[in-house]
Chain A
Amino acid sequence: MTFLSAIRVALDALFIHKGRSILTSLGIVIGISAVIAMVSAGEGARLLLEDRLSSLGTNLILVRAGTRSQQGMVADFAPLTGADARAIRDRLGHELTAVAETQMAQRLVSTPTAHHGTSIVGVTHELLLVRGWKMQNGRFISSADVKKMADVCALGTTVKARLFPHQDNVLGQTLRIGSLNLRVIGVMESKGHSPVGADQDDQVFMPLTTFQRKLAGEERLSLILTSTRTQAEIEKAKEDITQLLRQRRHLKPGNETFDVSSVYEIANLARIVTTVLQLLVGIVAGISLVVGGIGIMNIMLVSVTERTREIGIRMAIGATPANVLTQFLMEALALSLAGGLLGVALGLATALGLARLTGWPIVISPLAIVLASGVSGAVGVFFGYYPAWKASRLDPIQALRHE
């Protein structure tokens, strides 16, 4: 009997017991659909993360005051100072593209017709170099602006859209922060969201000196940003900066009151996390597939018992043990494959639905689909083997007497 006939015989038998076939394959359907949905969503999330990370610039190094556990909080002791930044620039400038100190605050920015709460960032001209950021319009803060404490600012595209909707050219316009009036000298190109979800276009840049003197009233750096020219130089640069600051503060290794981290290691961490998550997904899927497989085995055993007489008849008219084994194995395979394909379809539908809901990109991996189908087929064959083998070992005479 040919392979195709075997499939036909198996499909016929499954069709006859439609309801039971559907219920049996449910385990596999659910397992596979969960895997496909999670893999697609996971891949999409990873893609999104990579994209946002690259918008930051992967060679970026961030120097912050406060120890790791206190990230995000303003350090009350040993804040970073301009002197620190200068020291880094003087001693390590040759390893770095540039050193950009920043100080920031959340403030309300207003025009006569609109207002918007946003991040105000005091910067030097080096920020543009360090971040590799380009201007859409006009120019950025210059060293002259910093020297003069000029009352100027450069806008991110989100701020521009909020404060000056429907205007193409906003250069020369004025906006007000508190009692300070700033003239717009440039608009940044759009950068999108950072890896943690913050809108990088929702910022207003102004000269650091102006910020410190006229807005904040103190010198307390939030962040010193720097970068290396190549990825290979990142680790050394981090080490050197850490050593320098340790020396300046007379600290022993391990007692740092500051943190030097690179975007690169955040990216790596993110990749590790997603890999671990995907592994967990794989384990869960594996478990549900085993459960689904056991379900198939159970049903096939019941089926064999129920159809003992039928098997006896088939053997009497000439089915060999191999014929019987193949028939029941094909039935198990058809069950599991059908479940797998249904699971793939369901999983893709779920993934697409999720994408619509969260706005995240969805990655449909053909490899995952092929793998899922293959695995579900293998599950069917593996768990279906024992019942099929039992069926093939039946004695025709006993089987004919059955029931």
Chain B
Amino acid sequence: MIRPIIELENIDKIYQTGPVQVAALRGVSLTIEAGEFVAIVGASGSGKSTLMNILGCLDRPTSGVYRFDGRDVSRLNRTELAQLRNRKLGFVFQGFNLLKRHSAIENVELALLYAGVPAGQRRSRALEMLQRVGLGERVHHLPNELSGGQQQRVAIARALVNRPQVLLADEPTGNLDSRTGEEILTEFQRLNQQMKQTLILVTHDPTIGRWARRVVTVRDGAIAGDVPGKAA
């Protein structure tokens, strides 16, 4: 049997602000296999962002075990987590989070830079990835010279350029109009169906959630539902 790529077992995340304890996540268990397209849907404050941060190795659970590709993530130090984020995970954010004073291709190259890829290869791989997301003509543009949809494509190219095992998208269409948003979601579906890319999409909007093949609902820090999406 193939091991799941993500295994969460009884994850708690508790924040201590002074004397008050806030449990953002309680007893969350989740398994995701390679090649899945999962949407995590929840209202604001439901714990979905906390869950995403933990899945993305940006944050550590207070208790519980998180195994990524069989490896216990809680044992990793900050440097190892960073390396994992670089090579095994890709992030796409609501606000695109591109470096504003660097061109599209430089933004994509940055991920390769941190992976230790030499300069010549960086350029060619970044170029190729930008072409794949349809931005071959605009590689030297700065983010403020690109539309929202184009910026998000650059972010996707950056997230995928190191061939990560999992792509994480946090409200990726939140800053886009509905038509551009649909283009991006279509792109995600294509990545998942044709390239077999494992995708986790986090959103507050259930209609967006249904573009995925599996919808996990989060409420009050716990998983409240886990059903197939319309794309399944």
A residues at B contact (CB < 8 Å):
1-2, 5, 9, 12, 16, 309-310, 313-323, 396-397, 400
Is there an interface contact between A397 and B59, defined as CB atoms closer than 8 Å? Answer: yes
**In the complex, the 6 A-B pairs of residues with the closest C-beta atoms, listed nearest first:** A318-B86, A320-B82, A318-B114, A320-B79, A313-B97, A317-B111
Is there an interface contact between B58 and A396, defined as CB atoms closer than 8 Å? Answer: yes
Q: A316-B91, A397-B58 are in contact. Are A323 and B53 (CB under 8 A)?
A: no
Tell me, rounded to whole Å, the shortest Cβ–Cβ distance linking A319 to chain B.
5
Is there an interface contact between B99 and A318, defined as CB atoms closer than 8 Å? Answer: no
Is there an interface contact between A5 and B99, defined as CB atoms closer than 8 Å? Answer: no
Q: Mark B135-164, 1 if CB is under 8 A from A, else 0.
A: 000000000000000000000001100100
Q: How far is the CA of A318 from the CA of B79 in the complex (A)?
A: 9
B residues at A contact (CB < 8 Å):
53, 56, 58-59, 78-79, 82-83, 85-87, 91, 93, 97-99, 101-102, 110-111, 113-116, 119, 158-159, 162
Tell me, rounded to whole Å, the shortest Cβ–Cβ distance linking A317 to chain B.
5
Q: Could you say which of A323, A396, A400 contacts B114, with CB atoms under 8 Å apart?
A: A323
Is there an interface contact between B79 and A317, defined as CB atoms closer than 8 Å? Answer: no
Is there an interface contact between A316 and B58, defined as CB atoms closer than 8 Å? Answer: yes
Is there an interface contact between A318 and B115, defined as CB atoms closer than 8 Å? Answer: yes
Q: How far is the CA of A321 from the CA of B76 in the complex (A)?
A: 13
Q: How far is the CA of A318 from the CA of B119 in the complex (A)?
A: 17
- What residues of chain A lie closer than 8 Å to B53, measured between beta carbons? 397
- What residues of chain B lie closer than 8 Å to A400, measured between beta carbons? 93, 97
- What residues of chain A lie closer than 8 Å to B119, measured between beta carbons? 5
Is there an interface contact between B114 and A1, defined as CB atoms closer than 8 Å? Answer: yes
- What residues of chain B lie closer than 8 Å to A317, measured between beta carbons? 85-86, 91, 110-111, 114, 158-159
Q: Could you say which of B82, B91, B114, B159 contacts A321, with CB atoms under 8 Å apart?
A: B82
- What residues of chain B lie closer than 8 Å to A5, measured between beta carbons? 113, 119
Tell me, rounded to whole Å, the shortest Cβ–Cβ distance linking A219 to chain B.
88
Tell me, rounded to whole Å, the shortest Cβ–Cβ distance linking A398 to chain B.
10
Tell me, rounded to whole Å, the shortest Cβ–Cβ distance linking A18 to chain B.
12
Is there an interface contact between B85 and A318, defined as CB atoms closer than 8 Å? Answer: yes
* A320-B78, A320-B82, A323-B82 known, 8 other contacts, Cβ within 8 Å: A16-B101, A309-B97, A316-B91, A318-B83, A318-B85, A318-B114, A320-B83, A400-B93
Q: How far is the CA of A310 from the CA of B97 in the complex (A)?
A: 8
- A and B contact pairs by CB, cutoff 8 A, 11 listed: A309-B97, A315-B85, A316-B56, A316-B91, A317-B85, A317-B159, A319-B82, A321-B78, A321-B79, A396-B58, A397-B53
- What residues of chain A lie closer than 8 Å to B113, measured between beta carbons? 1, 5, 9
- What residues of chain A lie closer than 8 Å to B116, measured between beta carbons? 1-2
Q: How far is the CA of A26 from the CA of B202 in the complex (A)?
A: 49
- What residues of chain B lie closer than 8 Å to A16, measured between beta carbons? 101
Nearest opposing residue in chain B for A17, CB measure = B101
- What residues of chain B lie closer than 8 Å to A396, measured between beta carbons? 58
- What residues of chain B lie closer than 8 Å to A316, measured between beta carbons? 56, 58, 85, 91, 93, 97
Q: How far is the CA of A397 from the CA of B15 in the complex (A)?
A: 14
Is there an interface contact between A322 and B91, defined as CB atoms closer than 8 Å? Answer: no
- What residues of chain A lie closer than 8 Å to B102, measured between beta carbons? 12
- What residues of chain B lie closer than 8 Å to A313, measured between beta carbons? 97-99
- Name the residue among B58, B119, B158 with the largest chain A CB count within 10 angstroms: B58
Nearest opposing residue in chain A for B168, CB measure = A316
Nearest opposing residue in chain B for A307, CB measure = B99
Q: How far is the CA of A303 from the CA of B29 in the complex (A)?
A: 41
- Name the residue among A12, A314, A318, A323 with the largest chain B CB count within 10 angstroms: A318
